[in-house]
Amino acid sequence: MSARALLAILLCVLATVSWSQSYPNRPIRLLVGFTAGGNSDITARVIAAKLTQSLGTTIVVENRTGAAGSIAAHTVARAPADGYTLMLASPGALAVNRILERNLPYNPDTAFELIGQIATFGNALVTRQDSTISSVSQLIALAKEKPGQLNIGSQGVGSAGFLSGQLMQQMAGIKLTHVPYKGGADATTAVLSGELNLTFASTALALSLRNRLKVLAVTSPARDPILPDVPTLDESGLKGYDATFWFGFAAPAGTPQAIVTRLNALLRTAVSDPEVVKNLQSQGVNPAPSSPQELAARLRADYAKWKRVIEGS
């Protein structure tokens, strides 16, 4: 290689380093693919507030709802790869939707730079307080007696609630009728009104409504810290049941690695802050940071798992 070529490469590297060190110098957009007020939105806002302090610039949270996160993901995939458009990533947008949609407008394998996981969460299986169903075993028995007559709501096909329900039905050998809603709060309201028999609500919402709801079980493999008296579905007879989900950060493909590395380090610091931990755990969300490589491995595992569940349903 000539001296001139080496000089050109060196100048390019130095320019990239200098530019990334000046990042950020304007507000950053953080897109969330779900409605305001849910645990995804609250998680994004808690983390954004902490990163605003660390980065010295405003992080604006934008809710781009629809298609289980795909609309937000597509917006981010088309954005400039400069670190100023980020996404609160989830399994739906990056693993599940590619199973459900033949013509997904982005390729999850190539459209994003993964920054890292920030937290995990499970959900709670709930029914109305006056329901005749008081346990998972009773639910299974009734569903087998009346296949398809019990209904279960979720935030839509591909959502965490939908996947939790599909896995439960497969493992229990039962058939429930799925009813999609715009958000988890809407499905829970439908349970309270008697429109629905069951739904998988966030553990925080289930806790706040325990005087009006029966909380039958949680989807995580271990009991949830904010519902310690509620058994897991595994404990309730569905051995090996695990529907644990996660939130992470992603950026458009091509975002400089210096920015990805810096954001990953700041996310790790953010989710170790005692106030952030307290705020997240109050929403049933448990801090669990990772490297980009660890998140990529989890995505591959999620894709394989949920493909089996969805195609077997």
Taking only Cα atoms into account, the Rg of the chain, rounded to an integer number of angstroms, comes to 21
CA–CA dist 248, 28 (Å, integer): 16
Cut 0.85: pTM above it: yes
Find the mean pLDDT for residues 302-313.
91
20 band by pLDDT with thresholds 50, 70 and 90: low
- Three-state secondary structure call for residue 291: coil
Q: What pLDDT does residue 222 have?
A: 95
pLDDT in tens, 118-133: 999 999 999 999 999 9
pLDDT for res 3? 59
Tokens of 162: 């939908």
Domain at 123-218: CATH code: 3.40.190.10
Residue 71 tokens, joined: 């609309």
Q: Is 69 exposed, middle or buried (0-12, 13-18, 19+ CB in 10 A)?
A: buried
CA dihedral sign of residues 150, 153, 158, 159: negative
Same topology, domains 26-121+244-311 and 123-218? Answer is yes
Q: Across the chain, which distance is largest between two alpha carbons, in Å?
A: 81
Mean pLDDT value of segment 258-282: 97
Q: What pLDDT is stored for residue 183 in this prediction?
A: 80
Other CB atoms within 10 Å distance of the CB of residue 1: 7
Q: Average pLDDT for residues 221-233, to the nearest whole number?
A: 96
CA atoms of 251 and 91, how far apart (whole Å): 15
Please report, for the chain, the start and end positions of each structural domain, with discontinuous segments joined by +. 26-121+244-311, 123-218
Closest C-alpha to 112, from 85, 152, 149 = 85
Q: Mean pLDDT in the chain? A: 92
For 106-120, the pLDDT digits (tens) are: 999 999 999 999 999
Least confident stretch, 14-18, 24-28, 62-66? 14-18
Best CATH choice for the domain 26-121+244-311 from the list 3.40.190.150, 3.40.50.2300, 3.20.20.80, 2.60.40.1120: 3.40.190.150
Per-residue b or e along 143-182, where b marks 16 or more CB atoms closer than 10 Å to that residue's CB: beeeeeebbbbbbbbbbbbbbbbbbbbbbbebebebbbbe
Share of the chain above pLDDT 90, in %: 84
